[in-house]
Structure 1
């Protein structure tokens, strides 16, 4: 069996070493494709492999067509919208993610971005504090729960809404469960976004919803670019000079945001939520363990396609 690590943004060496240890201990061969610059390099590399570990790399129908021996793809991370799940299923390939491995890293970044925003992007002017602010967590999964844990240390009042998480699960963590997404936004000084990009959520963060937020509101996005209706967010920020937007996913209209909302907008140059040594190692090794479990025993615990 041959396992490929295909990463245009490579894992840290210590992560690759950990992956190699897991794969080779199972008697499999590990091969690397790092910092590739053309899709053809990926298509050539997948031709004879049985398993692939990726990060944000695009695995589409063309890749599945080229990978005749492929049995499993594992996305080292929580999000998996960079993999064509329908094409995977059509080719008989199992797709998994590694939920929870990057959660603390993303949560710490979200809180860091909140501090950056309330302190006016460290521009030398007087800002405000997180203590006493109402924080709304939109989606209470692994990252959202870590955000709540850290935010408690700042003395924030924490609310959460998750259509798929029972209120009692949220409230047992000492977090107040909002009854609706509208209630969450109208209550919160700061909203931290953690929803996935799905047919239902794409562009769901719009003018009407954001305009419910109190004066001086801040939206923090460490989730996905696609959930934001950029046109309506721009209109909102034009209408409300009190509103700030900080994001770990650069908008398509980044230049327009920078031009029009200096001092109220910040985007990282590339997605950095999982870019820590710890998350890098955890997610990579988890991916290797899941591949070995699948190939050896048929374990599909983290399967995300049907």
Structure 2
């Protein structure tokens, strides 16, 4: 009997765990739980004899993989998977998957709230601006980017997108205007929403060359990862362009400096909350369970990332 572990320092909602258990046990597998653990040693012990593990933001590194003698698959319930050492997993012959699309609506709705929050001057009582009629740019046109584009169009925005692996035809099919570089996207838009995934080649890719080109009174929004921004360039642009705002769901390393120097033009959520909705929590957990069952029973690797 295959053993599946849910290892979550920040647990799934009880209803999500109940749904995961139903999927796993109906497949004839055993489900184990490790929730709210405080020491890595607890994870090392719990993972020792399992065939599969479902995680959230929990770290799976070489040490954990060394301890997991029977492990065949790790599923990160969510889109980002930089908390998993994919190369080490590959070396251990362990498949790594994410659950793309399951958190997308939660993040996209947060984007809309943050955009309006910025346009209305963080609700400080001063006269703000409306979203209708603005030119909105989507940097990385994936699951989340597509939804942000859809919602912005509903607000009456003209939407642009840049994605290095999407054709013009694919982008135009959604009624969105394609651009062919990050610089072009920023130059054409009043608001740019960044959804670039955290990969080695993307580190610091949102830089001075593009950020400095955003239109007057522009808003730069980041609900992706802090690593994709060049923070030195961000500070430089914020100093030079006193008309623009930076809003983020991920506090940058320079957070304290940003707070001190750019009052009224900078906002960061207290902690990353893009996917923190009850619905996303459930959707991602159930998707992870279904992917594990399909992988173990049928060898399905549809969402493999390593």
User: The TM-score by the shorter chain falls in which range?
Assistant: over 0.9
Give the structure 2 partner of residue 73 of structure 1: 74
Give the structure 2 partner of residue 25 of structure 1: 26
Q: TM-score, normalised by structure 2?
A: 0.98
Is residue 2:197 matched to residue 1:196? Answer: yes
Partners of 2:299 and 2:202 lie apart in 1 by 32
Partners of 1:124 and 1:41 lie apart in 2 by 49
Q: 1:39 Cα shift?
A: 1.4
Map 1:48-67 → 2, pairs under 5 A: 48-67=49-68
Map 1:246-285 → 2, pairs under 5 A: 246-285=247-286
Give the structure 2 partner of residue 149 of structure 1: 150
Partners of 1:180 and 1:238 lie apart in 2 by 24
Q: 1:201 Cα shift?
A: 1.2
Partners of 2:198 and 2:191 lie apart in 1 by 21
Q: 1:92 Cα shift?
A: 0.6
Partners of 1:13 and 1:26 lie apart in 2 by 20
Deviations 1:250-273 (A, max 9, x none): 111111111111111111111111
Any idea what SS the aligned residue of 2:132 has? coil
Is residue 2:245 matched to residue 1:244? Answer: yes
Q: 1:199 Cα shift?
A: 2.2
Q: Which runs of 5+ in 1 are unaligned?
A: none
Q: 1:241 Cα shift?
A: 1.2
Partners of 1:150 and 1:118 lie apart in 2 by 16
Q: Which runs of 5+ in 2 are unaligned?
A: none
Partners of 2:233 and 2:179 lie apart in 1 by 24
Runs of 4+ aligned structure 1 residues displaced above 6 Å come to: none
Is residue 2:171 matched to residue 1:136? Answer: no
Any idea what SS the aligned residue of 1:219 has? strand
Q: Which moved further from structure 2: 173-182 or 86-95?
A: 173-182
How many pairs does the alignment contain?
305
Any idea what SS the aligned residue of 2:200 has? coil
Q: TM-score, normalised by structure 1?
A: 0.98
Partners of 2:202 and 2:182 lie apart in 1 by 12
Partners of 1:117 and 1:275 lie apart in 2 by 20
Q: 1:129 Cα shift?
A: 0.6
Partners of 2:8 and 2:78 lie apart in 1 by 13
Q: 1:112 Cα shift?
A: 0.7
Partners of 1:210 and 1:302 lie apart in 2 by 33
Give the structure 1 partner of residue 170 of structure 2: 169
Give the structure 1 partner of residue 125 of structure 2: 124
- Tell me how large the CA RMSD over aligned residues is: 0.8
Partners of 1:61 and 1:194 lie apart in 2 by 28
Give the structure 2 partner of residue 35 of structure 1: 36
Partners of 1:5 and 1:175 lie apart in 2 by 39
Contact 2:86 2:96 in 1 (8 A): yes
Contact 2:183 2:209 in 1 (8 A): no
Q: 1:243 Cα shift?
A: 1.3
